[in-house]
Amino acid sequence: RAKVTIPYLMEKKAKKEQITMITGYDYPMALLEEKAGIDIILCGDSLGMTVYGFDGTLPVTMDMMIVHAAAVKRGAPNAFVIGDMPFLSYQVSPQEAVRNAGRFMKEANVDCIKLEGGIAMAEAVRAIVNAGIPVMGHLGLTPQSTSALGGFKAQGRSAEAAYRIIEDAAALEAAGVCSILLEAIPPEVAKIITEKSKVPIISIGAGIHCDGQLLIVHDMLGFFDRFVPKFVKKYANLNASILEALNQYKEEVEKGAFPAKEHCYGMPEEELNKLKD
């Protein structure tokens, strides 16, 4: 397929065709996501939880993100790959934000970066965009502020809170973002933002009225049997099939059923005879 670009995503919004987006953290999954024709792959700092086993995203560093984003890019050269700016890589100053966003472009060859926050981050967004780097915004439930938000909780559920998110979206758009992600907010609020904005608005737990949808790949594939948020739909139960394969392997090794002859390398008869002498 052709390379997914910002004009292509804008065209999809204009034609009211849904944009498909999913997270990806490594090469094998990116290969499959590319094969499935997913438009956007987010190498999210959610890898802190899905890949590294932390209980949040705060410990994730730029170095970790770059290694993973580069692997995703190698697996999915034609998807629109977004590198997620980890905690403290953009909040300290617009200068640091530009330097770290630039690292994503230079070292991982991503198509875009994403960062969390609205009005408070507008200056950093403007500086990154001025450096020629596309930016996706992220509003609503912003996991890097979980402590300030009082936990992983849905946002924008009062009219006042909804207005703040709508104003944040307008500020991000004015600062030059190419798209905005809305996480865990009521569909009615996401609808207002989607209708007002000229750039594609993507939902993760923000309902059906947006220009596209995102899910975390480990959640939708059912990698874990632990809690998943309300907005997750499990399209597979990999947890069970992987566990079944591991159990079967263990059992076959222990009883000597693996490896079989077909898994072994042959040797010419005369060489075998010499070996026996």
**Rounded to an integer, what is the distance from CA 81 to the centroid of its chain?**
9
Name the residue type at position 264.
C
Which is closer to ligand KIV, CB of 20 or CB of 46?
A: 46
Identify what 183 binds: ligand KIV, Na ion, none; CB under 5 to 8 Å per kind. ligand KIV
Say which DSSP state 37 is in: T
46 in a known ligand binding site? yes
Is residue 80 within a helix (H) or strand (E), and if so which, with residue range? strand 80-84
Answer yes or no: are the C-beta atoms of 187 and 140 closer than 8 Å. no
By annotation, the residues acting in catalysis are 183
39 annotated to bind ligand: no
- DSSP 3-state assignment of 144? helix
Interacting residue ranges for ligand KIV, rule: CB under 6 A: 23, 42, 44-46, 84, 138, 181, 183, 204, 216
- 116 annotated ligand-binding residue: yes
Nearer to ligand KIV, 14 or 120 (CB): 120
Query: Residues 201, 204, 206, 212: what is their CA dihedral angle, to the nearest 10 degrees?
Result: 40
Give the Å distances, CA to CA, from 104 to 113, 114, 142, 265, 277.
Answer: 7, 11, 21, 44, 61
Query: Quick check: 172 and 166 in contact, CB under 8 A?
Result: no
- Closer to Na ion by CB, 13 or 114: give it: 114
Q: Are 173 and 199 in contact (CB under 8 A)?
A: yes
Q: Which does 217 bind (CB under 5 to 8 A by kind): ligand KIV, Na ion, none?
A: none
Q: Give min distance, CB of 215 to ligand KIV, in A.
A: 9
CB of 64 to Na ion, least distance (A): 13
Is 84 assigned a ligand-binding role in the annotation? Answer: yes
Which is nearer to ligand KIV, 201 or 216 (by Cβ)?
216
Name the site residues for Na ion (rule: CB under 5 A). 44-45, 84
Feature table: binding site for Mg(2+): 45, 84, 116
Annotated binding-site residue numbers: 45-46, 84, 114, 116
